[in-house]
Amino acid sequence: MKLLITGGAGFIGSNFVLYIAKNHPDYHIVNVDALTYAGNLENLRSVENHPNYSFIKADIADRAALEPLFADGSIDAVLNFAAESHVDRSILHPEIFVRTNIMGTQTLLDLAKQYKVTKFVQVSTDEVYGTLGETGLFTEETPLAPNSPYSASKAGADLLVRAYHETFGMNINITRCSNNYGPYQFPEKLIPLMIQNALNDKSLPVYGDGLNVRDWLYVEDHCSAIDLVLHKGRPGEVYNVGGNNERNNLQVVRTILSELGKPETLISYVTDRLGHDRRYAIDADKIRQELGWQPKYDYENGIKETIRWYLSSKDWMEQILTGAYQEYYNTQYSER
């Protein structure tokens, strides 16, 4: 099989490339990534010389750059991970989210249609469903009600993917996963940000009252779910993916502090995120029953493993903490 994986230099995309290289070593992988601030080829050192792997630096919204990759008709499946993925950045600069997440997805769909790619997997998010109160779970039937520019752009992409199935009969699937954690996550996201700050005895900026709830899934379990959807997903179906691991942000932060032996006095309550969704929780029954998906990691072990990975990957982190990220961090947190 030949897979075109977009966003393969980002957090989940690079974990997925490594997962495929390990579990389907005979597959060919074409990794297309624009290498924005979030893309990092360091994540892929172990596969970069593999004869079945190639990397192309390109923007998914740039049709002319992508068309040659499709032109010989050899791509069997497109897996679209590429996205602007950070909610806080979407509050600052929504336009780029529309361009990449919506127009980029539409460009890929069009090429996949034209060159008769047999499968298109759109990697989406539970955030398209909006927010939950204290009870209930998102199912695949929950109406879309995105609250941030990020989630609105992801919902727009999902609707286009759905439309290409309904209108053109394309074989598509959409996966909607809860919050991921694990190796190679960019330090703007909650878990790596808090690990990094705690290691440096810097304050840990908790938004609002810290009681917003997320459903955490170890990234490798997300990869195994996408692998199953790629091979066994029924045409046109949406599959929710989630870990059944609801934690509020304070619980997550306290675990990190205790694992690192740091005091809770480092916690600092800062101005809340605008439009901050209160709770996400996924009902993943469909993918479990229909495709036999089972997560391997429980949260307690997964978070410890993740902390250990960051402790042993200080060079990787140092490289990211360059001027550009520092600038974002200073703007983001000095205003709170």
Name the residues that contact ligand TDX, by CB under 6 A. Answer: 85-87, 125, 127, 179, 189-190, 193, 205-207, 212, 214, 249, 273
- The reply to whether 60 sits near ligand NAD by the rule CB under 6 A is yes
Give the number of residues in contact with ligand NAD, rule: CB under 6 A. 30
Question: CB-wise, 61 or 109, nearer to ligand NAD?
Answer: 61
Q: Which listed option, ligand TDX, ligand NAD, none, makes contact with residue 33 (CB within 5 to 8 Å by class)?
A: ligand NAD
- The reply to whether 182 sits near ligand NAD by the rule CB under 6 A is no
Closest CA to 90 of 249, 273, 212: 273
Q: Which listed option, ligand TDX, ligand NAD, none, makes contact with residue 12 (CB within 5 to 8 Å by class)?
A: ligand NAD
Applying CB under 6 A, the span of 1-9, 105-113, 248-256, 289-297 interacting with ligand NAD comes to 1-9
Q: Which listed option, ligand NAD, ligand TDX, none, makes contact with residue 81 (CB within 5 to 8 Å by class)?
A: ligand NAD
Q: Taking phi first (over 0 means left), then psi (-120 to 50 degrees means alpha), and beta for anything else, what does residue 244 get?
A: left
Question: CB-wise, 170 or 215, nearer to ligand NAD?
Answer: 215
> How far is the C-alpha of 102 from the C-alpha of 118, rounded, in Å?
21
Question: CB-wise, 119 or 266, nearer to ligand NAD?
Answer: 119
- The reply to whether 218 sits near ligand NAD by the rule CB under 6 A is no
H/E run at residue 79: strand 77-80
Q: Give the helix ranges, DSSP H, for the chain.
A: 11-23, 63-70, 87-92, 94-97, 105-114, 149-168, 190-199, 219-232, 249-260, 285-291, 299-311, 314-320, 323-334
Contact, 203 vs 330, CB < 8 A?
Answer: no
- The reply to whether 153 sits near ligand NAD by the rule CB under 6 A is no
Through-space distance between the first and last CA atoms of the chain, rounded to whole angstroms: 48
- The reply to whether 230 sits near ligand NAD by the rule CB under 6 A is no
Applying CB under 6 A, the span of 79-87, 162-170, 299-307, 309-317 interacting with ligand NAD comes to 79-87
Measured torsion, CA atoms of residues 101, 106, 108, 111, in degrees rounded to the nearest 10: -170
H/E run at residue 80: strand 77-80
Question: Rounded to the nearest whole angstrom, what is the least distance from the CB of residue 139 to ligand TDX in the complex?
Answer: 17
Active site residues: 126-127, 150
> How far is the C-alpha of 159 from the C-alpha of 153, rounded, in Å?
10
Binding site for ligand NAD (CB under 6 A): 6-7, 9-13, 33-36, 38-39, 59-61, 81-85, 100, 104, 123, 125, 154, 177, 179-180, 186
